[in-house]
Structure 1
Amino acid sequence: MTGQDVNWVFADLARGERAHLTRVRVAFYPEALIIGMPDGAQITWGWNTLRRVRDQADRRIMVLSHKGDPLTRLYLADHETQEFVTRHARSLGKRDHATPLSKVMLWAGGAVASVAVIIFLLVPLMATQLAEILPPEGEKALGDTTFEQIRVALDETGLGGVRICEDPAGNAAMQTMYARLNPDADLPYEVKIHILDHPMVNAFALPGGRLVFFRGLLEEADNPDEVAAVLAHEIGHVVYRDPTRDALRSAGSLGVLGLLFGDFAGGTVALFIANQLINATYSQAAEARADDYAHDLLEKADISPVALGTFFERLHEEHGDAEGIVAHLASHPQMTDRISAAQAAVDPNRTYGTILDAQSWQNLQTVCSGQADASSNGTSPAKKSWEKPE
């Protein structure tokens, strides 16, 4: 096929100035491709200047552009014509200008910045809004699922999850402590307290009003007022729905990352959220707000607010910055300020009581009695949560 043996073939041309197509005639010569316009004008494209435009919706049509005029498009529908052009135009796939590295880095930086804005600004903002309007039933369902995931995640044997301590006297003592604090008027839903037979020194709140304590925290406390202070702090998180907000933020961030790097779904999301809540590090404002709530709740219950600081201070002095309750509630560098705030909340002209009598305190500390061996709870009794691995 040359300009001598085939005079013209029909094609469509888009000049770039307007979106509509113009019907044109095309002739093929050894040196160039000639486009004949309806008004008699001709456009010459040399073979080496032709570039093929990829990613077209209709792959049956060959779309050509010209090196000196990249906005103009020539649409060839005839299969024989396409094969002829492919044989003669040896630079169809060539890129005229390589993208400068500086521009690539600029684009990459913009993409990273966009993701950062979504994860660290938009997702937390949306999580805050959703936490306010999410129905209590939805929060409770999320808390129920996460609670079971936590039990399974902390079970080293894989036999069904860390056991819930069910001694009636010990759980009654915990309920007596809760009743003495009497936070019900502030709560968006009913609170359920669980004690898990695990040596970790920790406690945290879950969405929907679940509070989780570990045996290790009860054993480490010097007196019931320290446990009451931790309980009051966690109730503060429930009052302000911090666990729900944190869970939504984690799930939202995972969704964004899943779109970028692959699917995060099902059990992966649940386990990630469970881990985040076990090791919850809320914002400074959320922690300070929960502390203030705890101070007021303890004061109303005739318990010295200083108990919230003495427990964390003693653990930090003994074990330093580590995992568990030290990292969860007394993380450096806020710890000193938080201890000072607890001390400042004490009324020096008042004589405070204690939250439990001696027998109830003993019952609470032994709530997991008979379940503490490794064979029954699936946990290793040798290490505390803050100990470094060997």
Structure 2
Amino acid sequence: MIRRLVPAFAALTALAGCAYPETPPALPSATAPAGVTSAAIEMQRAPVTILISIDGFHPDYLKRGLTPNLSRLAAGGVTGPMRPSFPSKTFPNHWTIVTGVRPDRHGIAANMMEDPSRPGEVFTMASDDPFWWNAVPPIWVTAEEAGIPTASMFWPGSNVAWGGARATAWPNDITGGTRPYDWQAFSQQLPGDNRVRQVIDWMRRPAASRPRFVTTYFDVVDTEGHRNGPNSPGVNTALAEVDRQIGALVEGLAELGQPANLIIVSDHGMSQTSSERVVALDRIVPATDARVVESGPYATFAPLPGRDAAVAAALLKPHAHMECWRKEAIPARFHYGQNVRVPAFLCLAEDGWELQKTAPTMTYTRGNHGFDPYAPSMQALFIANGPAFAPGKKVGAFDNVAVAPLLRTLLGLPADPTLDSTDAVFRPVLRRR
């Protein structure tokens, strides 16, 4: 398989040989100028930008010898240690990657959360009501508004009609809003091979209707990491599977002669956990004092009426294997705690420990994430490879809020000073004329 893919990588490298322009070229016209054939125009395909998430992929997974295609892209492109935002969970970080602001600002503050203006409602990873998402536009909305066609073969939030509103009490009755021009609702049952084929099919379109920005998402590494832990045979099988699919994507692009800037990321790493490393929260804060909103590597608490002082007395003292704060006192380095969707108290577990409502009744070993973003186990993957990037370069440690500004640069969108970062960390490794 590796030998068969070498020509595809070579072809993609040849396509990447041109210097990266200050402003990406406009899409070729659908109508050929006099004396120029449409086939000749197709030979001069404009680069596309493809953002790929491999959920739960720790950068050290590249060292296992199971990912020749990803390792080749990393060696021939740009890599660097990327920190997730807090909380180091799936939905907050995927939304940060495409908005360029941290969860405390964009409002997807957790995988599960509540909002005081919607009492009785709970946000889960199935929620697509724009109410939860509308604080900051994702990059595909900005691109569509600028006339840049986009497509999403899965990405958390890409099914949301951003800017729209729920028209009635019916959950799916949404009016207005913007999505990628092409998008598909997430289905874990759709194999990764099918996801790759859809991206390649989009690239077969004529220039005028071909998307210039595409996202796709692979969940199997995270699923296996949760199930049995990051060092399990299941994770190794998942790594090889996703790597093969990335290789098929590269090969398909090369066969079409389609230059592409591939931005390959993960949302977080994965830590080994077990039933022997659990803090039982009901032994610290009784259910008569507070409601646990979310639990796991961190836990959040909503005090019951009149019980704030009791909850503070129970939590805000030294505890083994966890540290707790009022939301307004969460350490500044987490950039977290100002949003109304963050409950009144937060406790963060020591890496590898979990905070659960009650003590576990079964023995288990598994994986989890949501720990301190500065913990080595939470480090996220970053690989950039394509005509925009100098080969074989590394950048220093950076926060994942820098990815969206990089995407704006690749798409020729103006810098946005309201974001939480810039593309400065990447400027030394971008090719220029």
TM range (shorter): under 0.3
The structure whose RCO (Cα within 8 Å, separation 6+) is larger is 2
Q: Which of the pair has more CA radius of gyration? A: 1
TM-score w.r.t. the length of structure 2 is 0.21
